[in-house]
Amino acid sequence: MSEEQKSKFNAYLASWLRGNKYLRKYTTSYASVLMYDGEHVIINLNLLSDHYHQKFITGKLGAYANSLLSVLTPSITDFFIAQNISSCELAFHFNDTTGKMAKYVQINSGSFKEASKAG
């Protein structure tokens, strides 16, 4: 991914978060919750409100990660199609006070496969 695409992707991730009616009211750090560093999509769950965190994430990091990816991945696929990126494996790093988790998603022309590693 080029530097221009990386910048557009980060803007896209922030826009996706602002547009998500369930997440947008639980943070004001839109550009910091979801961030692509050129190798990983870093998901800083600590930047979500304590209320949201306690209700949806605490004790359920794996299930939460799967749920978030099931909603986020189709949008990322649309972005990649628009940028003419036909295939890419993305590493998602979920950072949380209770632990960390990595999930890997292979994006291919509108479909994806997932594998995960807990850490």
Residue-wise pLDDT for 107-116, tens only, equals 875 444 444 4
The domain limits of the chain are 3-118
Dihedral pair phi/psi, residue 9, rounded to 5°: -65, -45
Q: Which residues in 34-65 are b (16+ Cβ under 10 Å) and which e? A: bbbeeeebbbbbebbeeeebeebbeeebeebb
3-state helix, strand, coil in the chain (%, to 5): 50, 30, 20
In this structure, how many other beta carbons lie within 10 angstroms of the beta carbon of residue 84? 7
Instruction: pLDDT band for 67, please (50, 70, 90 cuts).
Output: very high
Mean pLDDT to the nearest integer, 10-25: 89
